Copies of this chain bind each other. A is one copy, B any other.
Amino acid sequence: MQKQLDFFLFLGSTYTYLAVNRAEALATREGLSLRWRPFSVRSIMIEQNNRPFVGKPVKLAYMWRDLERRAQRHNIPFTSIPNYPNDADELAGRVATLAATEGWCPAFARAAYGAWFLEDKDPGRVEHLAAVLQSLAKDPDKIIALANSQEVRDRYAAETEVARSLGIFGSPSFVYQREVFWGDDRLEDAIDWCKAH
């Protein structure tokens, strides 16, 4: 049976752009299945007073430069620094939760990040989100209503609680059993660990 690596992701995270665009292909090539698990890392970071960039302009500037270089390294498009933070109400995050239950999270996450990073359109805004959903042949009104339902809100919160209980504090995080790997730059480590254990 194929081993399964959990991929905890937050759609407002910058480096998660890289993971969304390369994790699935890499996992598949290595014979693993990837379980996409959207969650609210923002809630956890606020709880833990973990704000790596707020009031830290030098570190923030470095992050974008590093992210640009890493994108080049992995042949992922990067044009310019988009507005950040985004998705204030985590609506796009909850759509990802719905998409994960229905099997279209990888495509949605890539499209949402494409809007954000390549067109500077915040996928948390309804008009941009609607365009992303239409590009995937989804009905925006229906999907957005579901993303705002209590059921999806509860699911998003429950996944956040799972992440919290695992000691996750950042996105992306990759988990096999209870072993946590944080960061797109730990994807290879996570895959190696998963294969070896």
Contacts and interface: CB of A to CB of B under 8 A. Distances in A.
A169 B48 contact: no
Contact of A56 (B50, B55, B65, B189): B50
A174 to B, nearest CB: 12
Given A49-B55, A66-B186, A69-B189, 16 more contacts: A48-B58, A48-B59, A49-B56, A58-B169, A59-B169, A61-B167, A62-B167, A62-B180, A62-B182, A65-B180, A66-B181, A66-B182, A69-B193, A70-B189, A73-B189, A73-B192
Nearest to A70: B189
A52 interface: yes
Contact of A52 (B52, B65, B70, B181): B52
9 contacts: A48-B58, A49-B56, A58-B169, A59-B169, A61-B167, A66-B181, A66-B182, A69-B189, A185-B185
State the number of copies, please.
Answer: 2
A69 B182 CA distance: 12
Contacts of A189: 69-70, 73
Interface string A24-66: 0000000000000000000000001110100110110110011
Interface in A93-151: none
Determine which residue in A59, A70, A185 has the highest number of CB atoms from chain B within 10 A of its CB, and name it: A59
Interface in A146-194: 167, 169, 180-182, 185-186, 189, 192-193
Contacts of A169: 56, 58-59, 62
Nearest to A190: B69
Contact of A50 (B59, B181, B186): B59
